[in-house]
A and B are shown apart, each in its own frame.
Chain A
Amino acid sequence: MGVQLATIGLCLGLALSSSRSLAGDLFIVCQDESRVKRVDTAANTITGSLSVDVGPAMIAASPDGAYLYVTHPDHGEVTKIDAARLSVDSVFHVGGEPFGVATDPDGKFLYVSDWDKDRVTRLGVESGELSGEATVGHKPAGLVLAPRGDHIFVANRESHSVSVVDTNEMRQSAELIVGEAPFALALSPDSKFLITADVRGGDATIVDTERLFVIARVKIGAAPYGVAITPDGDWAMISDQHQDNLTVIDLPSGRLRAVIKIGRYPETIVSEARRAYVANWFSGDVSVIDLANEQELTRIRPCEGPRGMVLSQRKASVSTK
């Protein structure tokens, strides 16, 4: 019968990370500077900077936007940040090499991929205590949660696969081969489609999540590294590290729409309705993409070594629900 996934309306968690908002903030992890920077997306200006422990990599926001969680793979840590104050709330010493991170729709748990121990862990958001773990493929990296929070999809870079983890039982319920060395992945807002960026395969793999079936494998370039889907679910964008560009394709057909030249060694992409943002790791800037015209609008220069990013509404505008 396959894995049943929600096709119902968006839950709060996904809506916050993808819908366009006037009070939108973009949080950028600056690995080389060990900082998290905040950008006001209305003006594309930097409005805050926070020093964190060394080697931060990926970031996720809580469903209400109140907290941010940053992984430090080299130090086995996760930093919890008060988003409104832009201050460190606490540091969780979780061990291993925590990399990908996602929050559950109820705001109770974090899910973290552990690159060192080939597992996905579930941590309580208050103190980071381990409340479950699931063994997945080799070298798990990018990770996304289905909107209902009942499944996680994780890209296993060295198993060339995506693991599906049942979050109720915290165990792997399925594993599907995608392309060679998938690093990042994205889920469509209705969770019907998943797309992986296959670093060594040079392609993006589009997966039907209900039947767990590869629909298409699209040639992208030398080293596809980051991937995002627009909030309407119509397009996917893939960054290519060795060719310094962003490829835009239709979903689920995989038809090529545009190739946009951006900065050096681009990776993480986040998207709202009209804009997408791409972290250019080497050139130390973030490309702002105008989706209507499929072109680069401007670049923000937040810091050296931008890696993970997340879009989030400000706490004040969220609490009035």
Chain B
Amino acid sequence: MRLCVLAALAFVFATPSLAHGPTPLKVDETVTIAADPQKVWAVAGSFGAIAKWHPNIKSVQATGGDALGGERILTFQNGATLKESLDEFDSTALKYSYRMMDPSLDALPVSSYSMTLAVRPASSGGAEVEWYGRIYRGDTGNEPPDNLNDDAARTAVGSFLRNGLQGLKAKLESK
């Protein structure tokens, strides 16, 4: 019967999965920088150039540039690597969105995330940079250990974003 053939086909698709549990977490960090938004974007808006301003990132290997599907492999200071892929890049709105490709718990204790970095004029002059996203804890089971639970994910990613924004601010304001 045809249905059985369809059922068999289902298993041909097996790809490395980005499985995550059903409960997402929010992260949202903002910094104000005393610089023109376009100048901030010139530094922060290059997807492959994050190592130039993020203190936690030792090096980056980027392919595909600032186009959809562009990828970067981040090497953290502890040597762990994490691969990310661009979903949206809008140089008019000064905003890009990307997602994690494969979990790397030594880099960040999360199983999956998507992030957006956006630059806009600050109300008090200069620029405001917001870095926000949706993350899932490292262990998506119902009894995660302390180092892979919701708090661990939120704390680690929150601090990663804050460190990055402070690094960006320091780089732009020192000029």
Contact = CB atoms under 8 A, between A and B. Distances in A.
A175 B123 CA distance: 54
A84 interface: no
Interface string A275-302: 0000001100000000000000000000
Contact of A158 (B19, B87, B97, B134): B19
Nearest to A199: B18
Contacts of A31: 23
A105 interface: no
A146 to B, nearest CB: 16
Given A2-B2, A281-B24, A159 B142 contact: no
A85 interface: no
Contact of A222 (B9, B15, B23, B97): B97
Given A159-B13, A175-B7, A115 B22 contact: yes
Contact of B6 (A73, A75, A158, A177): A177
B21 interface: yes
Contact of A97 (B10, B12, B134, B142): B142
A102 B10 CA distance: 24
Given A175-B6, A222-B87, A242-B97, 11 more contacts: A3-B3, A57-B22, A74-B21, A97-B142, A159-B11, A164-B3, A172-B7, A174-B3, A200-B18, A241-B134, A282-B132
Contacts of A189: none
B9 to A, nearest CB: 6
A110 interface: no
Chain A interface helix/strand/loop/mixed: loop
B6 A74 contact: no
Interface in A54-85: 55, 57, 73-76
Given A161-B13, A200-B18, A265-B134, A174 B23 contact: no
A116 interface: yes
Contact of B23 (A74, A181, A223): A74
B141 interface: yes
B169 interface: no
Nearest to B7: A175
Nearest to B8: A175
A164 B7 CA distance: 10
B72 interface: no
Interface string A99-116: 100000000000000011
Contacts of A151: none
A187 to B, nearest CB: 18
The 3 closest A-B pairs by CB, nearest first: A222-B87, A174-B3, A73-B22
A99 B21 CA distance: 10
A57 B23 contact: yes
Contacts of B9: 177
Nearest to A183: B22
Given A74-B23, A242-B88, A223 B114 contact: yes
Given A159-B10, A222-B87, A222-B88, A73 B23 contact: yes
Given A73-B23, A115-B21, A222-B97, A161 B10 contact: yes
11 contacts: A74-B23, A97-B21, A97-B142, A158-B17, A159-B13, A175-B10, A177-B6, A200-B18, A212-B3, A221-B88, A264-B132
A177 B44 CA distance: 40
B26 A282 contact: yes
A99 to B, nearest CB: 5
Interface string B78-106: 00000000011000000001010000000
A31 B18 CA distance: 22
Contacts of A115: 21-22
B22 A99 contact: yes
A242 B114 contact: yes
Contacts of B13: 159-161, 177, 180
A38 to B, nearest CB: 23
A76 B10 CA distance: 28
B88 A243 contact: yes
A221 B68 CA distance: 11
Interface string B112-139: 0010100000000000000010100000
A55 B114 contact: no
Contact of A242 (B18, B19, B28, B87): B87
A86 B123 CA distance: 42
Nearest to B27: A282
A19 interface: no
Nearest to A56: B23
A157 B13 CA distance: 12
A122 interface: no
B142 A74 contact: yes
